[in-house]
């Protein structure tokens, strides 16, 4: 049902006439009761798990520009329509292209032995017969930066930084930089190739891939963590460890992908919407069930629980499955360019793009005047183990952070990341590491968030 202009004008006037102290500062009791009931239902539902299983079984990995990426977009459009979203559409995204090709890494001397490694995203190839060279090891990127220019000529640089696990995954910021800039810095010192210790916290003989900066000009790969240990053990025993690396990855022409968007239309302010974000693309190892199949499924399920309630929120709910997040947030950046003049209609947003364990805290990034409402939300979510963090500077996770930094209010629902980086960007990104209990809890949280914020007219802006 669309309201007439007159109805909207009357509603707008009512808004203006409400004293500031009462105006939209808190969620109504009715709204809270509805959100509570919705969360309870969502918290018992297996829908999110089932959606993730559907995506990872029927599509699997969805690296940008691959057939899986296209199949994922088709899956998402069809699924959103089947779930009963009011509007479903795609918006084309253009990104650089890259092919993974093959990789082999082996110790040649003094201890001949195969190693397990994975090319980093965007890696250029080695010559067809590979690069055979001595390894020079650095404990971290800063040590590599301190090497003299030209000192690594004809050498393979190795960066051994070991990411430390923690509940907030804070060390990913440091460890990710080794991966992102390793090739660029090693090249500046004359190295022929760069190997990093995988950015991860596991002990599996599986490499962690991930994006690199645009200035990566030499072949780059991540050793699995046990292979990084192995290389370091070899280097303790020999001054001259020689590796052979063969990588056939290559950059290609630009490719097309898409953001997939589904909307549940609001009744009073349909042009305003709450954003539920995630990304549909994944890396090409694993099935993308965790990163970010979980987010895709949790946000789609949240909307579906609201659709199934038979009630319509006052504002719209926009579920955005961003494309091309993994290779550098291309999807959301192009979304922003296209929609930035309507940023004010993006009332508030939250994304799920990290974690396999449960959400343990809520961090807002909203205007002071709406903090009372956020406290109500936190109170409602307390039974789910979600605590309110005292800060108020969140910008949203991953994709949503681009909109958050541009001014959109956001909430970060932080899950416990202690073991997330065991699986992140690896073959182990599968349903086996998606806990059904997290899917239920996160469904409850995102459903409550979406309903509360969409079914109110509170202004969350700063």
- Using CB under 8 A, list all residues that contact its own copies: 53, 56-61, 67-68, 71, 111-114, 116, 203-206, 225-226, 229-230, 233-234, 237, 286-287, 426-428, 430-433
Asked if 349 contacts 339 with a C-beta cutoff of 8 angstroms, the reply is no
Nearest 5°: phi and psi at 379?
-60, -40
User: Residue 114's beta-bridge partner residues?
Assistant: 106
Least distance between its own copies and beta carbon 192 (Å): 24
Residue among 160 and 286 whose Cβ is closer to its own copies: 286
Residue among 261 and 431 whose Cβ is closer to its own copies: 431
Residue among 205 and 215 whose Cβ is closer to its own copies: 205
User: Could you tell me how many helices (H) and strands (E) the chain has, helices first?
Assistant: 13, 16
Least distance between its own copies and beta carbon 172 (Å): 20
Asked if 265 contacts 313 with a C-beta cutoff of 8 angstroms, the reply is no
Least distance between its own copies and beta carbon 246 (Å): 15
Which residues in 2-102 belong to E strands, given as ranges? 87-99
Least distance between its own copies and beta carbon 356 (Å): 11
In eight-state DSSP terms, residue 397 is S
Least distance between its own copies and beta carbon 57 (Å): 4
Catalytic residue of the set 325, 326, 351, 427? 325
Angle in degrees, 0-180, between the axes of helices 330-339 and 398-406, rounded to the nearest 10:
30
Least distance between its own copies and beta carbon 211 (Å): 21
Q: Which two tokens stand for residue 363?
A: 């961090």
Asked if 222 contacts 103 with a C-beta cutoff of 8 angstroms, the reply is no
The angle subtended at Cα 299 by Cα 426 and Cα 38, nearest 5°, is 135
Cis (ω within 30 of 0) for the bond into 40?
A: no
Q: Which two tokens stand for residue 38?
A: 């919705």
Neighbour-count burial of 387, counting CB atoms closer than 10 A to its CB (0-12 exposed, 13-18 middle, 19+ buried): middle
Residue among 109 and 345 whose Cβ is closer to its own copies: 109
Distance CA(310)–CA(306), nearest Å, equals 7
Residue among 59 and 303 whose Cβ is closer to its own copies: 59
Summarize the chain as % helix, strand, coil (round to 5): 40, 25, 40
Q: Mark 209-248 as b/e (b = at least 16 C-beta within 10 Å).
A: bbbbeeebebbbbbbbbbbbebbbebbeeeeebbbbbbbb
Least distance between its own copies and beta carbon 310 (Å): 29
In eight-state DSSP terms, residue 171 is H
Nearest 5°: phi and psi at 376?
-65, -45
Residue among 107 and 366 whose Cβ is closer to its own copies: 107
Would residue 325 show up in a list of annotated catalytic residues for this protein? Answer: yes
Residue among 28 and 162 whose Cβ is closer to its own copies: 162
Residue among 287 and 397 whose Cβ is closer to its own copies: 287
Asked if 295 contacts 250 with a C-beta cutoff of 8 angstroms, the reply is no
Instruction: Report the largest interatomic distance among the alpha carbons of the chain, rounded to a whole angstrom.
Output: 83
Catalytic residues: 325
């Amino acid at each position: 049902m669309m309201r007439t202009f007159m109805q909207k004008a009357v509603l707008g006037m009512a808004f203006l006439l409400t004293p500031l102290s009462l105006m939209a500062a808190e969620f109504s009791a009715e709204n809270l009761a509805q959100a509570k009931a919705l969360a309870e239902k969502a918290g018992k539902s297996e829908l999110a798990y089932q959606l993730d299983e559907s995506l990872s079984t029927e599509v699997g990995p969805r690296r940008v520009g691959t057939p899986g990426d296209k199949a994922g977009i088709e899956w998402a459009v069809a699924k959103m329509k089947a779930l009963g979203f009011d509007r479903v559409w795609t918006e084309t995204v253009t990104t650089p292209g890259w092919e993974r090709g093959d990789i082999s890494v082996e110790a040649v001397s003094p201890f001949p032995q195969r190693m397990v490694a994975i090319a980093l995203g965007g890696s250029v190839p080695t010559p067809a017969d590979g690069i055979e060279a001595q390894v020079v090891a650095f404990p971290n990127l800063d040590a590599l930066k301190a090497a003299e220019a030209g000192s690594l000529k004809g050498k393979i640089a190795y960066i051994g930084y070991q990411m430390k696990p923690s509940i907030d995954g804070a060390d990913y910021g440091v460890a990710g930089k080794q991966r992102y800039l390793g090739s660029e810095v090693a090249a500046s010192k004359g190295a022929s190739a760069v190997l990093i210790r995988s950015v991860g916290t596991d002990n599996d003989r599986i490499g962690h891939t991930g994006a690199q900066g645009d200035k990566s000009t030499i072949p780059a790969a991540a050793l699995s963590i046990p292979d990084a240990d192995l290389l370091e053990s070899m280097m303790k025993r020999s001054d001259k460890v020689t590796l052979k690396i063969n990588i056939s990855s290559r950059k290609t022409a630009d490719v097309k992908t898409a953001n997939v968007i589904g909307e549940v239309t609001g009744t009073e302010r349909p042009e305003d919407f709450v954003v539920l974000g995630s990304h549909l693309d994944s890396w090409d190892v694993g099935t993308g069930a965790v990163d970010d199949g979980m987010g895709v499924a949790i946000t789609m399920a949240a909307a579906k629980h609201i659709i199934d309630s038979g009630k319509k929120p006052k504002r719209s709910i926009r579920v955005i499955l961003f494309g091309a997040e993994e290779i550098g947030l291309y999807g959301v950046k192009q979304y922003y360019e296209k929609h930035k003049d309507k940023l004010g209609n993006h009332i508030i947003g939250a994304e799920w793009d990290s974690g396999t364990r449960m959400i343990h805290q809520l961090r807002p990034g909203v205007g002071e005047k709406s903090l009372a409402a956020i406290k109500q939300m936190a109170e409602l979510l307390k039974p789910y183990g979600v605590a309110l963090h005292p800060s108020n500077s969140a910008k949203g996770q991953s994709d949503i952070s681009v909109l958050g930094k541009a001014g959109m209010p956001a909430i970060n629902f932080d899950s416990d990341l202690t073991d997330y980086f065991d699986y992140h960007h690896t073959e182990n990104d599968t349903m086996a590491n998606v806990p059904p209990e997290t899917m239920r809890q996160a469904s409850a949280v995102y459903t409550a968030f979406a309903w509360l914020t969409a079914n109110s007219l509170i202004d969350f802006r700063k």
